[in-house]
């Protein structure tokens, strides 16, 4: 009878031990999964911070970079060059100013027209053109000028 009791207790103990072992294993498994999830969350959080930082840097870099390109001399220089070209005034090797004819743009302007007083055309264009190429005022008189 005692033997049977012992066996019974032993088997109960065995049962609980196995059960407990299973419970512990399950808990460990769940803890492992939880930890994995936490690691995953941490990875996503890091990735989020990485992209957040990256976006912040790009957002701050963007406008400054474009503004820098806009004002870095390229546009202003081209505009100045265009302005200089539109003047048709050239400084020659001997430092003498040459004012180009505003009609043909080839020969030096040497006729001063009245009444507008523009030095606008060359000797050739003087005979062809009746209105001042600069202001379109009709020529009444013309004076040939000699530059030094």
Task: Using CB under 5 A, list all residues that contact Zn ion.
Answer: 101, 103-104, 116, 118, 122, 125, 132, 134-135
From residue 84, give the alpha-carbon distance in Å to each of 73, 93, 97, 102, 136.
16, 18, 14, 15, 22
Least Cβ distance, residue 83 to Zn ion (angstroms): 20
Least Cβ distance, residue 90 to Zn ion (angstroms): 15
Between 76 and 114, name the residue whose CB sits nearer to Zn ion.
Answer: 114
Least Cβ distance, residue 126 to Zn ion (angstroms): 8
Between 68 and 130, name the residue whose CB sits nearer to Zn ion.
Answer: 130
- Using the 8-state DSSP alphabet, how is residue 72 labeled? S
H or E stretch covering 53: helix 2-71
Cα(62)–Cα(39) distance, rounded to whole angstroms?
A: 34
Least Cβ distance, residue 69 to Zn ion (angstroms): 41
Between 99 and 116, name the residue whose CB sits nearer to Zn ion.
Answer: 116
From residue 41, give the alpha-carbon distance in Å to each of 30, 104, 133.
16, 77, 77
Between 57 and 105, name the residue whose CB sits nearer to Zn ion.
Answer: 105
In three-state secondary structure terms, 87 is helix
């Amino acid at each position: 009878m005692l033997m049977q009791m012992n066996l019974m207790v032993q088997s109960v103990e065995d049962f609980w031990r196995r059960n407990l072992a299973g419970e512990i294993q399950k808990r460990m498994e769940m803890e492992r999964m939880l930890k994995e999830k936490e690691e995953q969350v941490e990875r996503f959080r890091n990735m989020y911070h990485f992209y957040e930082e990256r976006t912040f840097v790009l957002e701050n870099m963007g406008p400054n970079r474009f503004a820098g390109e806009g004002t870095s001399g390229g546009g202003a220089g081209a505009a100045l060059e265009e302005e200089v070209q539109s003047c048709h005034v050239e400084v020659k090797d001997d430092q003498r100013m040459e004012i180009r004819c505003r009609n043909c743009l080839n020969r030096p302007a040497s006729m001063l027209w009245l009444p507008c007083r523009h030095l606008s055309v060359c000797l050739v264009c003087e005979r062809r053109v009746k209105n001042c190429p600069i202001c379109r005022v009709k020529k009444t008189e013309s004076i040939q000028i000699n530059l030094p």
